Every structure is written in structure tokens, then in C-alpha cells.
Homo-oligomer: A and B are copies of this chain.
Amino acid sequence: PALPPAPVPSPPEPARHVGLSFEDRAALAVNPTAKQLFQIMADKRTNLCIAADVSSCAELLRIADQLGPFICCLKTHVDVISDFTPDFTVQLAQLASKHRFVIFEDRKFADIGNTVVLQYGGGVYHIAEWSHITNAHTLPGPGIIQGLAEVGKPLGRGLLLLAEMSSAGSLATGEYTKTTVEWARKHKDFVIGFICQRQLIADDATFIHMTPGVRMAKGGDALGQQYDTPERVIAERGSDVIIVGRGIYEAVDPMSEAIAYRDAAWVAYSSRINKAS
């Protein structure tokens, strides 16, 4: 007689990232850059990304070498550097290896697919060659992700989508943010997460959430930037990485300030995963 059918196992509970450690998420991640970033965060116990918006190669390399031990990621705007040479990216890559951080060129690609292919792989910057991570606006439609993936996926790079912005009057809200999240899910071999203000995906722990506009003290600048604290961003809103720029590198003692931000963000992360478990 026929055997009774085997019981169908219920699908596993989706991994909620708020309660998972970065180490667990490194194991889950498929994209090599996402895996590397999660592992660095777990090993170095830091979820701090420095935004180094300075205008000289020497100054940027000095910041990278001085603050490298305390960060998981260094965010650049290569196009504000006035004395850029290709050798700069070689030196930056050496510092990234020495201190174990990933490089994130904050290019905010925002053009049609055919154009971003040329901008990402070519020009004088060859961003795809040295930047582990870059980011893009979804405004032009999904062709921008496909175009960037053509260049970056074969190199094992990762893409962050700008789902929300920290600036006053940003139009990246509501349906815009929702659509961005949907497109990320559809391209999760290349899209590793979001620039956002809060956790956007609770049921897939492989996406990483990075939040700019973070300072110990609340406030803003004269051109619409708005700031929030590490505790709010990581513990309350469920983001993963804080991005801090002028609050650290313009401080009297950038190293002490970096350590203070690193510790505040790590305490917030630890309290979040402990509360959830």
C-alpha cells in the first residue's frame, strides 16, 4: 500500500534583521560585498561609516589612515577632490586592506541605464574598479539598476538604493520609497541595501540599511541637511550603519570623536539585538 504523504514542513520564519547579529547576517548574505561588510562590522565591532568630503587626496588619505581602525566603511565623493589622480585610488585601496573597511563612492547615480554604464565604469574615475559600494537613485526607473549591474556585478560590487534622504523637503517618500524597496528585492544579487532613515525590510536580513545625517547633537545646516542621533537611528528606527561626516572630521579631535560615534552606534545596535532576542 502507498505510504502516507510526508508532512509538508511549514516555510521557515523569515529572518527578522532587527534581532540578528551582523555575524549571522554575514552568513546569510549572497552578494560578496554585503558579506564582507557584515563580517567587518562583526569582527571590528563597528557600524560607523565616515563620510570624508574633503577636497585633497592627501587629506582624505590621512583621514582614512587615522580613522580606518574605527570604521566599517569609508564614504567618498571622489568628484569633490581637486587634485585627483588614479594613484589616489590605489593608495585608498591599500588603506582599506590595511584597516579592513569597504569603500563607498557616494556617486548618487541618477541617469538612464546607458549613461550610468559609462559613468560607473569609465571616465577618469573608473569608480567600479576601486569602490566596493556605490549608490543610485531609482528615479530614472529600473534601467539604472540593470545598467549599473552590467558593470558592477561581474566585479562582485554592491549597490545601495537611495530610498529616503535626510535633507529637508526630500521627495523620496511614500510610494517612491516603497517602489525602491520592491526593485531592491528584484535585484538582490546586486542591490545590497538602502540609504534610508529607518529599517525598510524586516523579512530579509541580507539588506543593509545605512543612514546619513547623524550627529550626537540634533540640528541642521544652512542648506537643508537635518541631523539625528545614533541611538534614534539604530536602536529605535532599526537602521544598521550610521554615516557621519562633518561631525567627526571637522571636530577638534577627530579620532576621539570617531570612537565616541562608533561606541554610541555599537551600543545602540547591541541593545537592539538583545531586546529582540
Q: Which A residues fall within an 8 A CB radius of B?
A: 53, 55, 77-84, 106, 108, 110-115, 117-119, 122-125, 137-144, 146-147, 162, 165-172, 176, 179, 221-225
Question: What B residues does A117 contact at CB under 8 A?
Answer: 223
A247 to chain B, nearest CB (A): 13
Are A77 and B124 interface neighbours, CB within 8 A? Answer: no
Are A113 and B224 interface neighbours, CB within 8 A? Answer: yes
Are B119 and A77 interface neighbours, CB within 8 A? Answer: yes
Question: What B residues does A112 contact at CB under 8 A?
Answer: 165-167, 223-225
Q: Which of B82, B162, B167, B171 is A122 in contact with, Cβ under 8 Å?
A: B82
- Number of this chain's copies in the assembly equals 2
Question: What B residues does A141 contact at CB under 8 A?
Answer: 165, 167-171, 224
The answer for the CA separation of A194 and B9 in the assembled complex, in Å, is: 56
A162 to chain B, nearest CB (A): 8
The answer for the CA separation of A81 and B115 in the assembled complex, in Å, is: 12
The answer for the CA separation of A54 and B225 in the assembled complex, in Å, is: 35
Question: What B residues does A144 contact at CB under 8 A?
Answer: 167
Q: Which of B80, B124, B147, B225 is A223 in contact with, Cβ under 8 Å?
A: B147
